[in-house]
Amino acid sequence: MTVTNEQKTALIQQAKTAYKRAYAPYSKFHVGAAALTKDQNIVSGCNVENASYGLTVCAERNCIAQAVINGEQQFQTLVIYTEQEKLTPPCGACRQVIVEFFEPEAIIMAVNHLAQSKSWKVNELLPSAFTPKDLI
Ligand code: THU
């Protein structure tokens, strides 16, 4: 399934809106994410930190959880928005959660406020991943 330019623009816009809502008083590192579901809906999430630092949840995982709560478990693509000159890739924990719900060839794209972007395929982010198939 191809993602249109209009969908890409909407994903970046919604990831930016989520970025502005990030709760990151400790790291001050705001992250927004937006994902396009297989049903063509866009869901978003931001990072939510905690005084007990280890309880922090990243933008990507909150975004995916939002879709699951809405009844959607299959995704086409995901955008990560930050205002960093060095584009922000998903952390290791998020890569594992992305693998659970995205196809290996799906594109994950980091974008920033300078309209720069970098894309990876899911299977590049986490090669030889442990997946639901390994449980069978
Ligand atoms: N963070 C994300 O939200 N996504 C990532 O992929 C990288 C890290 C958040 C977690 C924490 O709130 C802050 O960025 C600094 O690590």
Model confidence pLDDT, tens digit, residues 46-73: 999 999 999 999 999 999 999 999 999 9
79 exposure class (CB count in 10 Å sphere: 0-12, 13-18, 19+)? buried
d(CA 47, CA 15): 11
Give yes or no for residue 63 CB within 6 A of ligand 1: no
d(CA 15, CA 81): 6
**For 103-129, what is each residue's pLDDT tens digit?**
999 999 999 999 999 999 999 999 999
Give yes or no for residue 107 CB within 6 A of ligand 1: no
Does this model's pTM top 0.75? My answer is: yes
So which residues are the catalytic ones? 60
Task: Residue 41: name the closest of 67, 16, 15 by CA.
Answer: 67
Residue 17, sorted as left (phi over 0), alpha (psi -120 to 50) or beta, turns out to be alpha
